[in-house]
Amino acid sequence: MHCPVCAAPSGAPIYRHEGSPSITSTARVVAAPTAVYVCAACAHLHTPLVDDIGAYYDVAYNVHLESDEADDLYDVRAGVPVYRARHQANVVLEKLALAHGASVLDYGCGKSMTLQALRALRPDLDCCVFDVSDAYRAAWDTFVPRANQASFVPPAAWEGRFDAVLSFFALEHAADPVAFLRSVRGLLRPGGALHLTIPNVRRNTGDFIVVDHVNHFMPSSLRRAFRAAGFTAVRIDEDAHAAAYVVDAVRAQTPLPLEADDAGVAGFVADARGYAAFWSQAGAALAAFERDVARGRRSAVYGSAFYGVFIASRLADPGALACFLDRNPHQHAKRVLGKPVLAPEAVGDDVEVVYAGLNPARARDIIAGVAPLHRRERQYFYLAPREIAAATP
């Protein structure tokens, strides 16, 4: 294996597990090992490609196609749900000074829910969409004319067309992230802006073991990739999104010389080894809790996305699991691993144990704020011990 950002040899993986299922970014269980490598030169973390990557994204990786309204729950503020697409659209408007009538492309867009939300706020924008799948055409047709849609390969007429390119949660899937960014650069006019959002493994440690995220970026590898692709004025914001990097950059007028940039690399590599140790121990901690505390007791998993599926897939006795609980109403019509997904208010009094299937950095605060869980005394499992959760940014 070689680093997909700087091509340095990767050495042995810092994390590998076999014998247990892996989890994809869409919370699907797959029978494949997970291995994670770290680059000593730029601190980039990477995972081997899933088999038949092209077919996977064209056919199997279809996000939120179950309904027109389906979206991820980003937060709950004063009892009001905030969905990810609207939050991301607001961040775009905060970060980019888009002129009236600006041409904007959503690259690797899926349903393009963020661009839909952005267009609702800025109907003057000239919006286009691109993805490596045709599965989202029906969603695109609701707000973008066919002439502004493209699949698999961007049309030649789009070269140098756009004032801004947006990309949300796509670069982490790219086999060659520098080539991905160069493709985007070619679509921007000189001086055009790229606004990109990708998982931040430093804020959301679950990204470390997402098997179809072949890239897990550190700030050092992000800077290296953007410069190699021909971008300047790179700004990395780790606070605008709770668990993601928001990166803004400008298409450079001419190619940029690569410069050594080892700021923070040693510390980022050490952090990566800490994530590997955390996930190596998490399965054992879960097994011990199920054996010593939860055995023979009715249980539920709070959270029906990645963390919740990770926990449920590792239970020795899945028959004791009554359901998943989730505040996102778009999840309530689903069954996950054969179990129903219910609103927290629907939790039965027979449920004595709750597994917190949530980002460990926020899990205790979230669970504390879900009043229906606390109608009776229950015991809780958290992936991170208190001292680790408290130290996580």
pLDDT, tens digit only, all 393 positions of the chain: 899 999 999 999 999 987 778 999 888 998 888 999 999 999 999 999 876 544 444 444 454 444 445 567 777 777 777 789 999 999 999 999 999 999 999 999 999 999 999 999 999 999 999 999 999 999 999 999 999 999 999 999 999 999 999 999 999 999 999 999 999 999 999 999 999 999 999 999 999 999 999 999 999 999 999 999 999 999 999 999 988 999 999 999 876 666 666 668 999 999 999 999 999 899 899 999 999 999 999 999 999 999 999 999 999 999 999 999 999 998 998 999 999 999 999 999 999 999 999 999 899 999 999 999 999 999 999 998 654 444 444
**Residue that is last in its domain, among 258, 273, 303:** 258
Angle 61-171-208 (CA atoms, 0-180°, nearest 5)? 80
Same domain? For 109 and 158 the reply is yes
Same domain? For 250 and 101 the reply is yes
Please report, for the domain that includes residue 97, its CATH number: 3.40.50.150
Residue 371 lies in a domain: yes
> Would you state the torsion angle of the CA atoms of residues 293, 299, 305, 306, taken in this order, to the nearest 10 degrees?
20
Residue 269 lies in a domain: no
Residue 160 lies in a domain: yes
Residue 181 lies in a domain: yes
Is residue 144 within 8 A of residue 135, CB to CB? The reply is no
Is residue 9 within 8 A of residue 186, CB to CB? The reply is no
Same domain? For 128 and 238 the reply is yes
Residue 22 lies in a domain: no
Same domain? For 254 and 300 the reply is no
What pLDDT is stored for residue 259 in this prediction? 66
**Residue that is last in its domain, among 232, 258, 284:** 258
Same domain? For 251 and 337 the reply is no
Is residue 373 within 8 A of residue 367, CB to CB? The reply is yes
What pLDDT is stored for residue 52 in this prediction? 52
What pLDDT is stored for residue 8 in this prediction? 95
What pLDDT is stored for residue 384 in this prediction? 83
Same domain? For 86 and 205 the reply is yes
Domain housing 182:
73-258
Residue 9 lies in a domain: no
Same domain? For 254 and 342 the reply is no
Same domain? For 85 and 174 the reply is yes
Please report, for the domain that includes residue 341, its CATH number: 3.40.50.720
> Would you state the torsion angle of the CA atoms of residues 208, 269, 392, 218, taken in this order, to the nearest 10 degrees?
-70
What pLDDT is stored for residue 71 in this prediction? 64
The count of structural domains within the chain is 2
Same domain? For 208 and 82 the reply is yes
Residue 118 lies in a domain: yes
